[in-house]
Chain A
Amino acid sequence: MDLMLLFFIFTLAAFLGFELIAKVPSQLHTPLMSGSNAISGITIVGAIIAAGTDDNSWLTTVLGTGAVILATINVVGGYLVTDRMLGMFKKKIVAKKEDRA
């Protein structure tokens, strides 16, 4: 793929990132942060490629496997913790409705 194309994608994604987060209520700041933290675990894709390459080098395999473990913790832990937090927000609405009923 052309290098310029990669820069092009990068630039557009940067502007998109700024636009997406412009107006978020402060009570969602923590879930937003841990949710986007989980997305940064996307480096798992690079980790898998590194760990799966068969180049007969133990160093690449060790580094790649380490990266897979760490990125997986980041991804799995990040999404689950975010879901757990948001679940508490949700539970409240239900509880409130029951109170009124």
Chain B
Amino acid sequence: MNADTLINFAYIVASILFILGLKMLGRQASARRGNLLSALGMLIALVVTLLDRQVVNFTWIVIGLSVGAVIGVVCARVVKMTSMPEMVALLNGFGGLASLLVGWAEYGKIRAYGWDRYLAEFTGNPVFTSTVIFLAVLIGGLTFTGSLYAFAKLAAWVSGKPVIFRGQHVINGLLVLLILAGGAVAILASDPAIVLAGFTTYLVLSLVLGWTFVMPIGGGDMPVVISLLNSLSGLAACAAGFVISNNVLIVAGCLVGTSGVILSIIMCKAMNRSLLNVLFSGFGASAAVSEGGDGAVQGELKPISPEDAFAVLEAARQVVIIPGYGMAVSQAQHQVRELADLLEQNGAEVRFAIHPVAGRMPGHMNVLLAEASVPYEQLVEMDTINPMMPTMDVAIVIGANDVVNPAAARDKASPIYGMPIINAHEARTVICLKRGKGAGFSGIENQLFLLPNSRMLYGDAKSTLQSVVSEFKSISG
């Protein structure tokens, strides 16, 4: 068996491990083993690639692997669970940039070797190879700057508000046209200088496009954006796989690409919006205009003190906790868990109701509550909790806003009309923990807060919860 056969055989094994790993990641009981299997697949693919006959110089590979591994381990260790969306965005961006560099390096080789020698190594013809290099650089570049911008928004380095300006779509459209033109020149021209000009054009503009593409998308729509960028990083790897005619890159990249699309669609459905609407509407910037529509509820905000909140909770038998992004911001998950434990000791039944798009990435709330050791049997999904909501004595809304806004069901003028919500307003009493009086991500006043059965508990969620918890402890202790 020669080295090529061995390598390809190992790539098949790696692909199988990726497929099994992804499948097992979809079930709670097998998820962790699934991740390990997929990591094993990666290790196999990596090791056999070192046997490739084109790989003759190991110095830089070893340096690259060591530097990357150290950085990767440190990142994975020190990152806080509340910062997980930023972390995923950043890692994703690195993957995209890596694919871009691979495409660029292959282009460099073609320039150095000439086509004849290059095509002796890889399958294809000049037009095909140039096209897939174009795709790898374009998608990789988009993914890189798009993910970096998403990272900056999530880490609050820049405002999470959508950035909208006149003629934005025109500029993005022009960028796309210029990139396509640069690509066409690089693919079809034969003069190396002209090819280089085309290549440079699309390389630079792809990076610009990633930036301007994420610009008009607001912080609250990040679950969709992150899963979409994740999908793109897979497709970039896939394009790189076509460049060097490598099966394992094509299979793994494609699996990631399509599974990411599915996840994005799930997120969009949870908001009752189309993918196009999320990407291009600049949602949340212009929303304030439609305020005061037909179904607007008149009322006032009724503040409540932690002591009074405690009194309400002490008498409650059925409690549902509805967390949102605010819980992540104030890192209150441990206090939330403590309160839930005390309520249970007090004889109440406590559930956590999780909206599919609560937070800034898919499943964000689940991860935070898991970190605080909330048993996942206690977490219920939106469709399960809603029919039970009228029997709930108290609903505690912690830093969630649009996902509990009854305007989504009632007010046709509301920008979030039609979005499925958790019906917190149907509970006997609603206690809303909120930092201040501002509106939510969508920019609209939440009608829930104005209802007669709502009470506002203002302040940082972590410290207000702490006060409620100490009230409980002073009674029992």
Contacts and interface: CB of A to CB of B under 8 A. Distances in A.
Interface string A2-15: 11001001100111
A89 B60 contact: no
A21 interface: yes
Contact of A16 (B19, B241, B263, B354): B19
Interface in B226-253: 226-227, 230, 233-234, 236-238, 240-253
Interface stretch (B74-82, B419-427, B446-454): B74-82
Contacts of B354: 26-27
Contact of A86 (B22, B31, B254): B31
Contact of A46 (B36, B102, B234, B266): B102
B94 interface: yes
B95 A17 contact: no
A96 B112 contact: no
A20 B22 contact: yes
Interface residues of A, number: 85
A52 B26 contact: no
Nearest to B260: A36
Given A21-B262, A55-B113, A69-B67, A35 B25 contact: yes
B71 A68 contact: no
- Identify the interface centre among B106, B356, B377: most chain A CB within 10 Å of its CB: B106
B413 interface: no
A68 B64 contact: yes
Contacts of B50: 48, 52
B21 interface: yes
Interface stretch (B288-296, B307-315, B358-366): B358-366
A95 B375 CA distance: 8
Contact of A54 (B52, B56, B88): B56
Contacts of B356: 26
B55 A14 contact: no
Given A30-B367, A36-B234, A40-B233, A89 B244 contact: no
A93 B378 CA distance: 12
B101 interface: yes
The SS class assigned to the B binding surface is helix
Contact of A27 (B67, B72, B104, B363): B363
Given A42-B45, A60-B108, A52 B22 contact: no
Nearest to A58: B108
Interface residue tally of chain B, by bracket? 35 or more
B28 interface: yes
B35 interface: yes
A77 B52 contact: no
Nearest to A82: B35
A101 interface: no
A17 B258 contact: yes
A43 B60 CA distance: 16
A71 B109 CA distance: 20
B193 to A, nearest CB: 16
Contact of B22 (A39, A81, A87): A39
A73 B250 contact: no
Contact of A85 (B236, B243, B370): B370
A45 B246 contact: yes
B150 interface: no
B18 interface: yes
A95 B377 CA distance: 12
Contact of A24 (B26, B61, B240): B26
Interface string B88-126: 100110110111011011101100110000000001100
B212 interface: no
A63 B101 CA distance: 6
B263 A33 contact: yes
5 contacts: A27-B363, A49-B244, A69-B68, A74-B94, A92-B375
Q: 6 smallest A-B Cβ distances: which pairs?
A: A72-B68, A68-B64, A17-B258, A76-B72, A52-B55, A29-B363
